[in-house]
Each structure stands twice: as structure tokens, then as C-alpha cells.
Amino acid sequence: MSIKIYHGSDKIIKKPQFGLGKTYNDYGQGFYCTYDIQMAKEWGVGYEQNGYANCYEFDDEDLSILDLNSKEYCMLHWLGILLENRIFDMPSVLAAEAKVYIRENFHVDYENYDVIVGYRADDSYFSFAQDFINGTISYRQLCNAMHLGKLGLQYVLKSEKAFERISYLDYEIAKSNEWYVRKINRDKKARREYFDVERNKRVKGDIYITNILDEEMRWYDARLR
């Protein structure tokens, strides 16, 4: 099926190259895109620096796609991948133990897929994940927090085969004085809602990382769905 995807950048990219990109991005090395042109414009701008929303046509027919939002996965699968690629603050024994447990029991062989679809852990959302690992918020609060600010999903090309299927169409300029402000305001909104609504709202029966460790919960546990 042919779809339209966007990549936010500080430059026009007509031919995405396999094997480039930062290894410490959410899902490792790859070409990070979005279905939403507005989100791409936010990703592309910097402080007083204009950006571009590069537009592509992508044919995903017969490609292997890891959709982390499908029913067979839970939020800890996403977090497990994040723990493999991003640097987390591990200030306690609990956090270090949690990292090992999640990576061992919620591992996904994501590197063998052509495409990954999942959440994007920008600054605010990454801090939500750290709070969960450190035992500050519950699993329910983490799941709810990931929907604050309407972050949207990433569509990440991982394999050489996937890079052969992408075709450049056009671009739109993202003005810094508009889209950088939007990006900052969205992040502030997510953080404000998180602290006002989620972080300080404990619910009886909430599952914390200590419960997951003590009960040795696995991916098939209905409480994690």
C-alpha cells in the first residue's frame, strides 16, 4: 500500500540514505517520519532556525512492520526498546533493577523489521518514562501520560529494503517563529497536564514498577493491557 509520510529536518532531503542517523534515537538508527505534516514541521525547526517538512510517498507492500500499538504489545515493550537506545537516569537500585527486568522480559527483536511504528519520546515524554522507571508514577499513569499533548506516532524506516521504497515528493518550509513556538507550547501543555492531572493522582490498585518486579509480571498479564 502506498502512503504519504513526512520527515522534519533543517534541510531538504530528496534521497534518504540507509545507514545514516543517530544510533541513540528511540528505535536506534533509521529514518524517522510521521503521518502528520504539522508534527514534521515541529520536528524540523530550531530556535530561530527554519526547517522543512519533507514529503515522501512510501510503498510498504510486503514489508515487515512492527506496530507497537497493536494488541500483542504493551507499553513496556515500547519502554524496553527505549531502554536499549536512550540514556536513562538511574539514581537508585530500583531503577537499575527495573531496566534489567524490562529489557529481559519485554524484549522485541525490533532490528529485524523493515519499519517500526510507535510513540516518540521527546523531552517531556522521555521524562514520563523515567518517572515510571524510578517508581514515581504508576503504569496506568505512564500510559495516560503518553497521550498528553497529542504527540502522535513515528514511522521509522529501518532496513535497506524499506529505503528502496521511499520516493521524494515535495517539501514545505516551517517558519521558526511559528512552529518552534508551537512545539514549545505543546511540550509545556503536556507537562502541565501531567503534573496537574496524572503525576499526583494515585488510584487505588495502581500498578507500580515495584509490583511488576515483585510479581514478576510478563507481557501476557491482562493488567498490562
Query: So what's the pLDDT on residue 16?
Result: 96
Query: So what's the pLDDT on residue 200?
Result: 65
pLDDT at position 125 over 80:
no
Dihedral in degrees, nearest 10, Cα atoms 143, 22, 10, 151: 0
Asked if residue 152 is part of any domain, the answer here is yes
pLDDT at position 115 over 90:
yes
pLDDT tens, residue by residue, 190-216: 777 776 766 667 788 899 999 999 999
Asked if residue 224 is part of any domain, the answer here is no
52 membership: H or E segment, kind and range: strand 51-59
Q: Are 181 and 28 in contact (CB under 8 A)?
A: no
Whole-angstrom distance, CA of residue 64 vs CA of residue 67: 10
pTM: 0.89
Grid coordinates given for 82: 527505549
How many other β-carbons are positioned within 10 Å of the β-carbon of residue 180?
A: 21
Whole-angstrom distance, CA of residue 154 vs CA of residue 170: 19
Asked if residue 16 is part of any domain, the answer here is yes
Looking at the structure of the chain, the number of domains it has is 1
- Domain residues for the domain of 120 are 2-219
pLDDT at position 150 over 60:
no
How many other β-carbons are positioned within 10 Å of the β-carbon of residue 86?
A: 17
Asked if residue 225 is part of any domain, the answer here is no
Rg of the chain's alpha carbons, rounded to an integer? 18
